[in-house]
């Protein structure tokens, strides 16, 4: 579990991108899927804004986005049920 995420070696860059999570948002690395992060928290707005900050930090600029599909994308959204 983490309070920030570090993105390394994005498009071969040496720069380390660090994104702090907002409020009580927690990052969990998925056990089943490689390179998948799960963001959880009690405030849906803070969680979705944290996901947007991660996505914005990895936008591909000055390159053809049809060729460079690298990046961080949102796979699914939803609220957790009480039984989970």
The total of other beta-carbon atoms located within 10 Å of residue 25's CB is: 22
Question: Would residue 48 be called left, alpha or beta, if left means φ above 0 and alpha means ψ between -120 and 50 degrees?
Answer: alpha
- Pull the structure tokens for residue 20: 């702090």
Q: pLDDT tens-digit profile of 38-65?
A: 888 888 899 889 988 988 888 877 877 7
Check if the beta carbon of residue 2 is closer than 8 Å to that of residue 18: no
The DSSP secondary-structure symbol of 81 reads P
Angle at alpha carbon of residue 6, lines to 14 and 68, rounded to 5°: 60
Average pLDDT, whole number, for the chain? 81
Contact 11, 68 (CB under 8 A): yes
Q: Which residue has the tokens 């990895």?
A: 58
- Per the model's pLDDT, the better-predicted residue between 83 and 40 turns out to be 40
């Amino acid at each position: 579990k983490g309070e920030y995420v570090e993105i390394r070696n994005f498009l071969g860059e040496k720069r380390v991108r660090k994104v702090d999570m907002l409020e009580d948002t927690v990052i969990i690395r998925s056990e089943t899927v490689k390179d998948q992060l799960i963001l959880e928290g009690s405030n849906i707005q803070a969680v979705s804004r944290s996901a947007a900050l991660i996505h914005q930090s990895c936008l591909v600029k000055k390159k053809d986005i049809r060729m460079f599909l690298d990046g961080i994308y949102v796979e699914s959204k939803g609220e957790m049920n009480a039984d989970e």
